[in-house]
């Protein structure tokens, strides 16, 4: 005996169940009853290669769990209809959907049969007719069909655009857009290329691609593949190509250090730079990328292969060279030259200051000598007792220096005099004095001077011991 919700009146159902519970042998088992919502499923009309979805419902109206063992689609057009999975078990009184898909490949009508196999003893197979029609067709057009980026320099980015047009009677669905595997790695997407994208008939979208050759890049060919719902051209291709202008090479003595002394003029050399393609003459551009904190010197003739630089203070500079070929491509890796100014003298004293207008003077005196006397080495007496003074820096920053190759034994007093404010509205100026012994920084002191004729007694240096004694006091001179 089979008991179904749909086949027995409710008034009879309760006695039957009670009888089953009490051991009545006439009612021994309950069964599932399949319910399917549609004997026919029409997917309607849609453009060729577009996808339509319907979701019929499978239910269980029985008194036991429904088990679905198989779902199949049969018929000549079965391959144009499909499903991804089916509900294998449906509890009593429950429902579950069965998503079905249809995709026509040409303009015509399609029909197939859906079969659902279950453990419903009265209806073990449920069938439903599936139908649909492909009515209109998408068509794709690429504009242009090929791209040539021209001559592109290494390290340079070239940009081009292309259009995808929908020229059929149905909207065009662009499923994927990608650069074909095996294309030059120099080709890069610009912006979003993510699909799917729907383009209405007569409309278009614009996309951008870049060519970015790295140093040593040789492969230049590439292809863009566009997969769409155009049945006659499922995968459209756009070819790409370019020519590569190899970058010039800047040569200026990498890893080499040029050595000079404060006050020297050093010449840099970029004449060995070259262009592997012969696109000459080259253009040169030098730049100082590192310098001592107090240095104000600049490159002379920075746009030539052999500029020069004056080493105004002791310390280290770094100059960078970039070259450009006659077609406008720059060197990818600039080269750098390192220049060191080392005080070769046994005693070297340096003065710098932080005000752009004021004028400070450096004085080095023998022990007991008077300011501006014979024993004072300053710009007005630049070679006293065998010293060498750099001369007067009339306004702003300095430097002024004194050097001695062979200092006489004795004690030397280092002083800084505030010579002129030069009309500065805020004349306070911070001075810094450095003392080098045999090219090594031995002492550094700083002090702010407020007005003209202030004299800062900085320190004393004893020779030949090289002993430095700070004084750091300020007086007013005549």
The strand order across the sheet containing 158-166 reads 140-143, 158-166, 204-211, 187-190
Is 170 a domain residue? yes
Considering the domain architecture, whether residues 305 and 410 belong to the same structural domain is answered as no
In a 13 Å sphere around the CA of 203, the CA atoms on its Cβ side amount to 11
Distance of CA 417 to the CA centre of its chain: 53
- Write down the pLDDT at residue 217: 85
Of the residues 134, 162, 192, the one at which a domain ends: 134
Is 355 a domain residue? yes
Considering the domain architecture, whether residues 432 and 327 belong to the same structural domain is answered as no
Considering the domain architecture, whether residues 158 and 128 belong to the same structural domain is answered as no
Domain hosting 287: range is: 257-341
Considering the domain architecture, whether residues 311 and 270 belong to the same structural domain is answered as yes
Is 1 a domain residue? no
How many residues in the chain? Answer: 478
Is 454 a domain residue? yes
Considering the domain architecture, whether residues 292 and 239 belong to the same structural domain is answered as no
Q: Give ∠ CA 83-89-92 in degrees, rounded to 5.
A: 125
- Write down the pLDDT at residue 255: 56
**34-81, pLDDT tens digit by residue?**
999 888 999 999 999 899 999 999 999 999 999 999 999 999 999 999
Considering the domain architecture, whether residues 357 and 450 belong to the same structural domain is answered as yes
Of the residues 314, 341, 368, the one at which a domain ends: 341
- Write down the pLDDT at residue 254: 58
Is 251 a domain residue? no
Number of domain units in the chain: 4
For the chain, which ranges sit under pLDDT 70?
1-28, 254-256, 478
Considering the domain architecture, whether residues 87 and 168 belong to the same structural domain is answered as no
Is 53 a domain residue? yes
Considering the domain architecture, whether residues 271 and 383 belong to the same structural domain is answered as no
The sign of the CA dihedral 80, 84, 89, 95 is negative
- Give me the CATH number covering residue 326: 2.60.40.10
In 12-119, the DSSP E strands lie at: 34-36, 40-46, 52-54, 57-60, 66-74, 81-82, 89-90, 95-97, 100-102, 109-118
Considering the domain architecture, whether residues 363 and 472 belong to the same structural domain is answered as yes
Considering the domain architecture, whether residues 367 and 458 belong to the same structural domain is answered as yes
- How many angstroms separate the CA atoms of 39 and 434, rounded? 101
Q: What are the φ and ψ backbone dihedral angles of 62, each rounded to 5 degrees?
A: -90, -165
In 325-407, the DSSP E strands lie at: 335-341, 347-353, 359-366, 376-377, 388-389, 400-404
Residue 445, C-beta contacts closer than 8 angstroms, at least 6 positions apart: 432, 433, 458, 459, 470, 472
Of the residues 283, 311, 341, the one at which a domain ends: 341
- Write down the pLDDT at residue 26: 53
- How many angstroms separate the CA atoms of 461 and 207, rounded? 74
Q: Across the strands, what pairs with 410?
A: 463
Considering the domain architecture, whether residues 360 and 466 belong to the same structural domain is answered as yes
Considering the domain architecture, whether residues 96 and 168 belong to the same structural domain is answered as no
Is 235 a domain residue? yes
Is 47 a domain residue? yes
């Amino acid at each position: 005996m089979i008991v179904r919700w749909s086949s027995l009146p409710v008034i009879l159902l309760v006695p039957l169940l009670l009888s089953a519970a009490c051991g009545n042998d006439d009612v021994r088992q309950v069964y599932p009853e399949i319910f399917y919502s549609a004997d026919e499923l029409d997917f309607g009309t849609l453009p060729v290669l577009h996808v339509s979805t319907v979701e019929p419902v499978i239910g269980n109206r029985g008194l036991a769990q429904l088990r679905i063992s198989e779902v199949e689609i049969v018929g000549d057009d079965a391959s144009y209809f499909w499903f991804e999975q089916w509900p294998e078990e449906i509890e009593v009184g429950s429902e579950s959907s069965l998503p079905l898909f249809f995709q026509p490949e040409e303009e015509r009508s399609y029909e197939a049969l859906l079969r659902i196999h279950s453990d419903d003893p009265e209806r073990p197979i449920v069938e439903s007719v599936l139908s649909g029609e492909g009515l209109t067709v998408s068509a794709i057009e690429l504009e242009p069909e090929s791209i040539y980026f021209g001559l592109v320099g290494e390290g340079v980015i070239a940009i081009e655009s292309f259009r995808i047009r929908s020229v059929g009677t149905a909207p065009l669905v662009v499923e994927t857009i990608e650069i074909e595997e095996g294309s030059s790695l120099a080709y890069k997407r610009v912006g979003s290329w993510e699909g799917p994208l729907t383009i209405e008939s007569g409309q278009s979208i614009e996309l951008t691609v870049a060519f970015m050759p790295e140093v040593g890049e040789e492969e230049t060919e590439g292809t863009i593949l566009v997969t769409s719902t155009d049945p006659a051209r499922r995968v459209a291709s756009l070819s790409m190509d370019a020519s590569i202008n190899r970058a010039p090479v800047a040569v200026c003595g990498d890893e080499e250090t040029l050595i000079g002394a404060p006050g020297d003029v050093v010449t840099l050399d970029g004449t060995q730079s070259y262009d592997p393609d012969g696109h000459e003459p080259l253009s040169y551009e030098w730049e100082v990328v590192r310098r001592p904190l107090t240095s104000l010197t600049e490159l002379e003739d920075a746009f030539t292969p052999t500029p020069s630089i004056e080493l105004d203070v002791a310390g280290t500079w770094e100059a960078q060279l970039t070259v450009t070929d006659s077609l406008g491509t720059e060197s990818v890796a600039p080269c750098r030259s390192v220049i060191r100014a080392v005080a070769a003298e046994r005693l070297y004293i340096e003065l710098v200051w932080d005000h752009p207008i004021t004028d400070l003077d450096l004085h080095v005196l023998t022990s007991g000598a008077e300011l501006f006397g014979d024993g004072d080495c300053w710009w007005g007496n630049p070679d006293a007792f065998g010293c060498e003074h750099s001369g007067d820096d009339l306004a702003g920053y300095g430097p002024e220096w004194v050097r001695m190759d062979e200092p006489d034994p004795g004690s030397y007093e280092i002083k800084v005099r505030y010579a002129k404010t030069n009309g500065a509205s805020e004349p306070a100026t911070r001075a810094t004095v450095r003392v080098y012994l045999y090219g090594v920084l031995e002492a550094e002191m700083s002090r702010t001077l407020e007005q003209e004729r202030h004299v800062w007694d900085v320190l004393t240096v004893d020779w030949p011991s090289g002993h430095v004694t700070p004084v750091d006091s300020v007086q007013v001179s005549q």
